[in-house]
């Protein structure tokens, strides 16, 4: 009968210890809320490349758009009545674009005359990327609800003097398609057989491919030049990370984190508290912008950053609802000095066009900016405000 007494005695001792520990915590324990970050699954980069989110929050407490710019004399015009999915401005003022849905390629000269360059049809064409000189284009179409197909082609003149589009489909589903500055290299990401994603470069002269990086992450946005930056797809509900190709993290984790390379400078945006904050990082030098911006709605000329800034922005819903098309922004154009961060409101689109424009992307040209509308696939040209 000694075993029951041993068991009862052991239980009693454990109960006494538990009660003592509970009493101690009751008297002395102070609760600390957990930080709203996710553990970093990869290594850290040098701290000089990082960013102090708290310092930026102090420098940028203003919400994304609290001031409505006045109507200026800016030259804003609709480039074409066609729906577009990718546009490029050439040096002579000519604009080339791909038509949404058909994949047909058109050219509009500086006087507004429109010419079809290629009638090759890509049913369900949904996005297009151009090389800088405007001779190569990668068109992605939707084969079905779960399959994408990307065609990489080059525009050439045939023996009769007419233009043709020659090329081939890239095998498998590819994303993050881009051309090098020279136009001779095609970059893209593709899932590998191990369940991860590979970053690939293809030399368009030799047709040889090279794997630039491998990552276990799936939903990523990649900036390729001048250095590779891998950013997890931004979400309002999940902390995001930005990495080098060697998986070293280059900034603090932030919800709705997004990035864009502007030459040697990287534009970052993310949520801090109830606001969207943005900053420019050039090496170890950081410039906080006085208001949040959406990097995909920005481009630069020299040290001037031009951004389409929503006047109806809600930090609690960006970017998820915007990506899903559940919300449409009413944008205005702002100018930022990339050296100091100072901002200047330029004009609101509604005042010039009598319609609200939700800008999907901005591309700088020699004389101004091409802006693509997200909700209606429209294409607009804005004369460079600096030359007016």
Query: Helix count (H) and strand count (E) of the chain?
Result: 4, 31
What is the C-alpha radius of gyration for the chain, rounded to an integer number of angstroms? 26
| Domain ranges, ordered by start, for the chain | 47-387
Cα 336 to Cα 294: distance, rounded to the nearest angstrom: 13
Q: pLDDT tens digit string along 41-70?
A: 444 444 344 444 444 444 444 444 444 444
Cα within 13 Å of Cα(227), Cβ side: 14
Does residue 122 carry a pLDDT above 60? yes
Cα 27 to Cα 2: distance, rounded to the nearest angstrom: 38
For the segment(s) 47-387, the CATH number from 2.130.10.10, 3.40.50.970, 3.40.50.2000, 3.30.70.100 is: 2.130.10.10
Task: Quote the Cα angle for 235-61-296, to 5°.
Answer: 40
Q: Output the average pLDDT for the chain.
A: 83
Determine the distance from the C-alpha atom of residue 98 to the mean position of all C-alpha atoms in its chain, rounded to a whole number.
20
CB-CB contact of 370 with 381 (8 Å): yes
Does residue 13 carry a pLDDT above 60? no
Task: Sort strands 248-249 and 43-44 into parallel, antiparallel or unpaired.
Answer: parallel
- Lowest average pLDDT, out of 2-6, 35-39, 94-98, 263-267, goes to 35-39
Residue 74 pLDDT grade (very low, low, confident, very high; cuts 50, 70, 90): low
Cα 170 to Cα 220: distance, rounded to the nearest angstrom: 19
Q: pLDDT tens digit string along 128-167?
A: 999 999 999 999 999 887 789 999 999 998 888 788 999 9
Closest CA to 62 of 289, 290, 273: 290
Q: What is the pTM of this model?
A: 0.81
């Amino acid at each position: 009968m000694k075993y029951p007494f041993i068991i009862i005695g052991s239980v009693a001792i454990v109960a006494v210890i538990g009660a003592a520990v509970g009493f101690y915590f009751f008297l002395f324990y102070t609760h600390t809320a957990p930080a709203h970050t996710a553990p970093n699954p990869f290594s850290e980069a040098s701290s000089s490349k990082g960013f102090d989110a708290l310092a930026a929050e102090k420098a940028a407490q203003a919400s994304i758009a609290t001031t409505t710019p006045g109507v200026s004399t800016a030259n804003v015009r609709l480039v074409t009545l066609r729906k577009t999915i990718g546009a490029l401005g050439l040096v002579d003022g000519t604009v080339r674009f791909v038509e949404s849905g058909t994949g047909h390629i058109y050219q509009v000269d500086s006087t507004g005359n429109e010419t079809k360059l290629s009638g090759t049809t890509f049913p369900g064409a949904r996005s297009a990327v151009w090389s800088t000189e405007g001779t190569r284009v990668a068109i992605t179409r939707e084969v079905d609800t779960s399959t994408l197909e990307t065609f990489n082609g080059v525009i050439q003149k045939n023996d009769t003097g007419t233009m043709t589009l020659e090329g081939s489909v890239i095998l498998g589903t590819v994303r993050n398609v881009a051309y090098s500055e020279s136009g001779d290299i095609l970059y893209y990401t593709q899932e590998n057989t191990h369940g991860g994603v590979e970053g690939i470069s293809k030399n368009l002269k030799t047709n040889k491919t090279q794997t630039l990086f491998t990552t276990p992450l799936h939903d990523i946005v990649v900036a390729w030049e001048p250095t590779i930056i891998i950013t997890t797809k931004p979400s309002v509900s999940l902390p995001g990370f930005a990495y080098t190709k060697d998986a070293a993290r280059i900034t603090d984790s932030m919800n709705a984190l997004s990035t864009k390379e502007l030459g040697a400078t990287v534009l970052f945006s993310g949520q801090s508290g109830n606001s969207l904050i943005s900053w420019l990082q050039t090496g170890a030098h950081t410039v906080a912008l006085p208001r949040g911006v959406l990097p995909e709605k920005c481009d630069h000329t020299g040290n001037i950053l031009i951004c389409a800034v929503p006047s109806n922005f809600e930090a609690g819903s960006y970017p998820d609802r915007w990506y899903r098309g559940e919300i449409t922004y009413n944008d205005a154009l702002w100018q930022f000095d990339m050296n100091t961060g100072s901002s200047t409101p330029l004009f609101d689109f509604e005042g010039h066009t009598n319609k609200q424009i939700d800008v999907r992307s901005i591309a700088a040209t020699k004389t101004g900016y091409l802006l693509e509308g997200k909700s209606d696939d429209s294409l607009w040209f804005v004369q460079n405000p600096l030359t007016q």
